């Protein structure tokens, strides 16, 4: 049995941030991730708001100034003041992991967690580990969350291709349509390439490939992107709102952060900023024992916004998907905020 003060599951933005914070406060931290290296394969659209902070240094590939929203075949509605950044997500994750290493955390990749027992013992890569605190930052299908009964029951399945961008572009394009059930399409520019993708409710996952193929073909015809597909990725996003971020296994405290805690926005799917913030808070709580403060902070910062997004999402899923409903369900329109 190997022991630590804190075990972190997952080394994405939430897990790496948690590991760094706990280690800075003198904890022995062991952080595990099933991937072979940080951030790869990339399963992310790579857009973050401009306010996320200094940890972007070295991983920003271009700025975003505006958002253009296409509702069915209507001309786009342009929101001119929509600042953000397009990241190199692999570089971003690698920088956060390196910060955790420098802080003193033991970082272990290729470590698949096979089991978390009722006694709080983690079995991974042929080893058994225990700690008084486990931080679950292991994504929308979190094993830590499952162990304490906090499961993301609503998901969106996504598919994304990366294609050449034929002219410089500094806006995000959002495509809202009845033909993209339970989600939306996007074009996010990233220097000389762009991420082109869509998300749908799981029962329509088989429609993702033709949805993106049609969108890609349309943009090729318009002379905006190249025909060659550079990269393909996809994954699940939690869209059911915030889970209870705290639980216990016997004497082991379990804290959830990022997607594992359901902090991705149920309408936009955005979750990187929330992952970094909640991971940082989870690391602090793991080190200090201020569990109630952690739960309260997440409630204060995220609950209202996530519940509004959940209402809009469920209204849209229950409507006839007319244009008015599509607009009411998207953040660029005043109706969303009413």
> Are 96 and 219 in a shared domain?
no
What mean pLDDT do residues 258-285 have? Answer: 97
Lowest-confidence region among 99-103, 110-114, 238-242: 110-114
Cα-Cα end-to-end distance for the chain: 54
> Are 6 and 37 in a shared domain?
yes
In this structure, what token pair is assigned to residue 232? Answer: 């393909």
**Is pLDDT of 303 > 90?**
yes
> Are 212 and 73 in a shared domain?
yes
In this structure, what token pair is assigned to residue 210? Answer: 């033709």
> Are 35 and 169 in a shared domain?
no
> Are 138 and 166 in a shared domain?
no
**Is pLDDT of 50 > 90?**
no
Query: Where in the sequence is the domain holding 118, given as residue range(s)?
Result: 2-43+88-153+240-317
Whether 306 is in a domain gets the answer: yes
**Nearest CA to 212 among 193, 234, 190?**
234
CATH number (domain holding residue 164): 3.30.9.10
Whether 337 is in a domain gets the answer: no
* pLDDT score of 39: 87
Q: Where are the beta strands (DSSP E) in 94-245?
A: 106-108, 113-116, 122-124, 127-130, 133-136, 155-165, 171-176, 185-190, 193-200, 225-238
Contacts of 165 (CB under 8 A, 6+ apart): 189, 190, 191, 192, 193, 194, 224, 225, 226
In this structure, what token pair is assigned to residue 221? Answer: 């015809």
> Are 110 and 257 in a shared domain?
yes
**Nearest CA to 211 among 135, 153, 158?**
158
User: What integer best gives the mean pLDDT of the chain?
Assistant: 94
> Are 111 and 232 in a shared domain?
no
The number of distinct structural domains making up the chain is: 2
What mean pLDDT do residues 195-202 have? Answer: 97
DSSP type of residue 40:
B
> Are 55 and 120 in a shared domain?
no
String of DSSP letters for 188-218: EEETTEEEEEEEE-GGGGGGHHHHHHHHHHH
CATH number (domain holding residue 273): 3.50.50.60
> Are 142 and 216 in a shared domain?
no
Contacts of 212 (CB under 8 A, 6+ apart): 159, 160, 161, 185, 196, 197, 198
**Is pLDDT of 145 > 90?**
yes
* pLDDT score of 53: 55
Q: What are phi and psi of 298, to 5 degrees?
A: -65, -40
What mean pLDDT do residues 108-113 have? Answer: 94
> Are 118 and 228 in a shared domain?
no
> Are 70 and 177 in a shared domain?
yes
> Are 112 and 19 in a shared domain?
yes
């Amino acid at each position: 049995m190997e022991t630590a003060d804190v075990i972190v599951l997952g080394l994405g933005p939430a897990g790496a941030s948690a590991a760094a914070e706990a280690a800075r406060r003198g904890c022995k931290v062991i952080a595990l991730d099933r991937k072979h290296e940080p951030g790869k394969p990339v399963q992310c659209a790579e857009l973050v708001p401009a306010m996320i902070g200094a940890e972007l240094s070295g991983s920003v590939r271009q700025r975003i100034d505006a958002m253009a929203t296409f509702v069915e075949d209507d001309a786009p509605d342009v929101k001119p003041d929509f600042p953000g950044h397009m990241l190199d997500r692999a570089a971003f994750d690698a920088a956060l992991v390196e910060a955790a290493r420098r802080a003193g955390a033991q970082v272990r990749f290729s470590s698949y967690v096979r089991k978390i027992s009722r006694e709080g013992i983690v079995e991974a890569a042929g080893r058994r580990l225990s700690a008084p605190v486990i931080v679950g930052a292991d994504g929308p299908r979190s094993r830590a969350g499952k162990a304490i009964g906090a499961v993301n029951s609503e998901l969106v399945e996504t598919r994304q291709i990366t294609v050449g961008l034929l002219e410089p572009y500094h806006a995000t394009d959002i495509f809202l349509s009845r033909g993209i059930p339970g989600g939306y399409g996007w074009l996010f520019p990233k220097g000389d390439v762009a991420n082109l993708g869509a998300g749908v409710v799981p029962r329509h996952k088989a429609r993702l490939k033709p949805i993106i193929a049609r969108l890609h073909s349309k943009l090729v015809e318009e002379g905006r992107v190249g025909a060659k597909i550079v990269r393909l990725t996809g994954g699940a996003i939690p869209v059911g709102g915030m889970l209870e971020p705290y639980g216990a296994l016997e004497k082991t405290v379990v804290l959830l952060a990022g997607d594992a805690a359901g902090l991705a926005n149920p309408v936009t799917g955005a979750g990187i900023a929330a992952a970094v913030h909640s991971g940082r808070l989870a690391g602090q709580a793991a080190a200090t024992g201020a569990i109630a403060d952690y739960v309260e902070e997440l409630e204060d910062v995220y609950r209202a916004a996530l519940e509004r997004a959940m209402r809009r999402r469920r209204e849209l899923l229950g409507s006839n998907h007319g244009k008015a409903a599509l607009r009411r369900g998207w953040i660029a329109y005043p109706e969303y905020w009413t």
